[in-house]
Amino acid sequence: MPENILIAIAWPYANAEIHVGNITGSHLPGDIVARYHRLKGNKVLMVSGTDSHGTPVTLRADAEGRPVEEVYKKFHEGFLDVFRGYGITYDLFTTTHTENHFKVSQTIFLALQKNGLLFRQKTKQWYSPSTARFLPDRYVEGTCYICGYEGARSDQCDNCGNVLEPERLLNPRSKLGGTLELRETEHYYLDLSKLEPDVREFLKERADHLRETVLGESLGKIQAEGLKPRPITRDLDWGIPVPVQEAGWESKKLYVWFEAVIGYLSAAIEWGSLQADKDAWREWWVNPEARQFYFIGKDNIFFHTSLWPAQLMGAGSAFMELFEDDEAPLTLPYDVPANQFMNLEGRKISGSRNWAVWGLDALTRYDADALRYYLTVNMPENKDSDWDWAEFLARNNNELVATWGNLANRVLAFCYKHWEGHVPDVDLATLRDTDLRLMSVIENGFTTVGAELEAVRLRSALTEAMKLATAVNQYLDQTAPWSAIKTDRDEAAKTIYTALKAIDSLKVLFAPFLPFSSERLHGFFGYQIPLFGEQYTEDESDSLGEHRVLRYRAGDARSSTGWERSRLEPGAKLNQPAPLFKKLDESVIEEERARLGN
Ligand SMILES: [Zn+2]
């Protein structure tokens, strides 16, 4: 029975371009797991979108003196280019600025209200008399009253990581300039204390497969501090209106932490609206058997492991009742394999100082698979990792090119030349023990690499696949078909047939990680139906205007290659092979280092 797998990936803020740290942090691991499950024949839905609301976006627009809509769209378009370039196969990559997302978010709000989990409270917020507006979170900076850090935001300190009460911030300064004063305002709060027992239970049930780092930031934090009520509305012009018809509330919006996570649900519903069966999204969201994986960075763990499940459990079956007049609870997250951060040449990545390797820029000089390879072997799964240009070069040349690329190219080119473009027509009954042994080792790889992928241990999965490529190289060293061809063509044929079968299987094992080169290799082997489907963009429109989305058209699943060993037949026709990867010159290291920080 195929499983329903939801791949939910962190929504990038529309205030900065995507760099390699963002790619390895969430988009790439999500894509690898999605591609693996698609090969296995599971039903995958992979969604995300641009977080178009929130103060990082409005601040950027204020700084540039441009309309927020223009700013979010510019970054959104750039994101679509990055994901196409790296082959991040979203079934739907949309934005939070859609009518659908507004409606779904407001319905979650109303469901929580119906279940008695919201309350109103008056608080004091920083107000700017000169611009006649409240200035939430990132608009106000000052000194943290907990650790003394001078660059703390009014709602959060990036130094000590604590959530702050804005009115207690010391030496507050407005990012817009001018004076500040505290004024009273009223907001809705989600009463998380009522949901705390459910959230604890939810986390305990998943404790055996959640990463240690993730468990510490969720269950550990709740055990230490408890879950306290949290405001879910803000005084802001840009965002989703609060669904209450009362004077004074039209100037308030849903808090971005509250509505952005709802995007995982609304994007699935939007994807459904584009299908023949509009209810198709329910297979991942109103289905207790569906497994949901959330790919995020460590700074987002609490939101996805504690607050989002609280929102879902709090809404309960009231969401479906209000949304579709059909009472049913929503599916809860299964795993949140959050990554740590990737640094760059020993320092924290910093966009503003240009201490970054930018996603689109890197693609102008390197192939996507070379970048995907390094970003996977160096993925910050359990601790921070470091992008080092010398290591990038070494890994590319010694592993990707020497161990895997050359293996595939040398065997295919040799076969193409000596067997006139066909797989040697060997009698399978004559294969030697050494051939059968290699085939069995490679076949076993589908279990071992698959087990690592199931558990989202992607570095280990890729290392395991690379070990199998090494085993094929060792087999070729022992059987030496290059010289055997001159003395015993039949023996050489057995070796080449066996090696081709191994490479054809390795192509599938590498495919989730290296989709572009695996697809090319698939073509060299003469297969007509591609391994994967295609990405494309489409324009959608609603009452809020137009938005472009990235989509994925799956191939013909019934007849395409799955997560299983090669079925290559003796005598099959091949296509002209070519090298899969490029060896890089040492000079790259200094050239790339010279770009940093300028
Ligand atoms: Zn602090």
**Strand bridging mode 181-190 / 230-231:** antiparallel
Decide: helix, strand or coil at residue 279.
coil
The Å distance, Cα 229 to ligand 1 centre, comes to 21
The Å distance, Cα 286 to ligand 1 centre, comes to 40
130-174: pLDDT as tens digits: 888 898 888 999 999 999 999 999 988 988 888 888 889 999 999
Residue 456 amino acid letter: V
The Å distance, Cα 531 to ligand 1 centre, comes to 49
The Å distance, Cα 9 to ligand 1 centre, comes to 28
Q: How confident is the model at residue 300 (pLDDT cuts 50, 70, 90)?
A: very high
546-556: pLDDT as tens digits: 999 999 998 76
The predicted pLDDT at position 167 comes to 87
The Å distance, Cα 594 to ligand 1 centre, comes to 34
Segment 335-339 shows an average pLDDT of: 98
The Å distance, Cα 85 to ligand 1 centre, comes to 39
212-267: pLDDT as tens digits: 999 999 999 999 999 999 999 999 989 999 999 999 899 899 999 999 999 999 99
Token digits for 9?
Answer: 């990936």
The Å distance, Cα 170 to ligand 1 centre, comes to 11
The Å distance, Cα 224 to ligand 1 centre, comes to 18
List alpha helices for 347-402, DSSP H: 359-363, 368-377, 389-395
443-469: pLDDT as tens digits: 999 999 999 999 999 999 999 999 999
The Å distance, Cα 146 to ligand 1 centre, comes to 5
The Å distance, Cα 159 to ligand 1 centre, comes to 5
The Å distance, Cα 521 to ligand 1 centre, comes to 52
The Å distance, Cα 163 to ligand 1 centre, comes to 9
Residue with tokens 């879902």: 312
The Å distance, Cα 131 to ligand 1 centre, comes to 28
The Å distance, Cα 153 to ligand 1 centre, comes to 9
Decide: helix, strand or coil at residue 166.
helix
The predicted pLDDT at position 177 comes to 86
The Å distance, Cα 10 to ligand 1 centre, comes to 25
% pLDDT > 70, the chain: 99
Segment 316-322 shows an average pLDDT of: 96
The Å distance, Cα 149 to ligand 1 centre, comes to 5
| Contacts of residue 584, Cβ cutoff 8 Å, sequence gap at least 6 | 366, 370, 393, 396, 397
The Å distance, Cα 346 to ligand 1 centre, comes to 24
The Å distance, Cα 143 to ligand 1 centre, comes to 8
The Å distance, Cα 167 to ligand 1 centre, comes to 15
The Å distance, Cα 459 to ligand 1 centre, comes to 34
The Å distance, Cα 151 to ligand 1 centre, comes to 9
The span from the CA of 488 to the CA of 138, in Å, is 74
The Å distance, Cα 157 to ligand 1 centre, comes to 5
Q: How many other C-beta atoms are found inside a 10 Å radius of the C-beta of residue 199?
A: 22
Residues with CB under 5 A from ligand 1 (ion): 144, 146-147, 149, 157, 159-160
The span from the CA of 261 to the CA of 259, in Å, is 6
The Å distance, Cα 401 to ligand 1 centre, comes to 46
With the C-alpha atoms ordered 476, 480, 484, 488, is the resulting torsion angle positive or negative?
Answer: negative
The predicted pLDDT at position 131 comes to 86
The Å distance, Cα 247 to ligand 1 centre, comes to 37
483-522: pLDDT as tens digits: 999 999 999 999 999 999 999 999 999 999 999 999 999 9
The Å distance, Cα 160 to ligand 1 centre, comes to 4
The Å distance, Cα 58 to ligand 1 centre, comes to 24
6-48: pLDDT as tens digits: 999 999 999 999 999 999 999 999 999 999 999 999 999 999 9
The predicted pLDDT at position 37 comes to 97
The span from the CA of 50 to the CA of 75, in Å, is 8
Contact predicate 509/445, CB 8 Å: yes
The Å distance, Cα 165 to ligand 1 centre, comes to 12
76-134: pLDDT as tens digits: 999 999 999 999 999 999 999 999 999 999 999 999 999 999 999 999 899 999 888 89
Burial (CB count within 10 angstroms: exposed 0-12, middle 13-18, buried 19+), residue 120 = exposed
- For Cα atoms 389, 298, 461, give the angle at the middle one, nearest 5 degrees: 60
The Å distance, Cα 158 to ligand 1 centre, comes to 7
The Å distance, Cα 137 to ligand 1 centre, comes to 14
The Å distance, Cα 252 to ligand 1 centre, comes to 28
The predicted pLDDT at position 29 comes to 98
The span from the CA of 31 to the CA of 512, in Å, is 8
367-392: pLDDT as tens digits: 999 999 999 999 999 999 999 999 99
Q: Does residue 561 carry a pLDDT above 90?
A: no
Whole-model pTM: value is: 0.96
The Å distance, Cα 356 to ligand 1 centre, comes to 26
Compute the chain's Rg from CA coordinates: 27
The Å distance, Cα 307 to ligand 1 centre, comes to 22
The predicted pLDDT at position 559 comes to 58
257 torsion bin: left (phi>0), alpha (psi -120 to 50), beta (else): alpha
Please list the residues that pair with 44 across neighbouring strands. 5
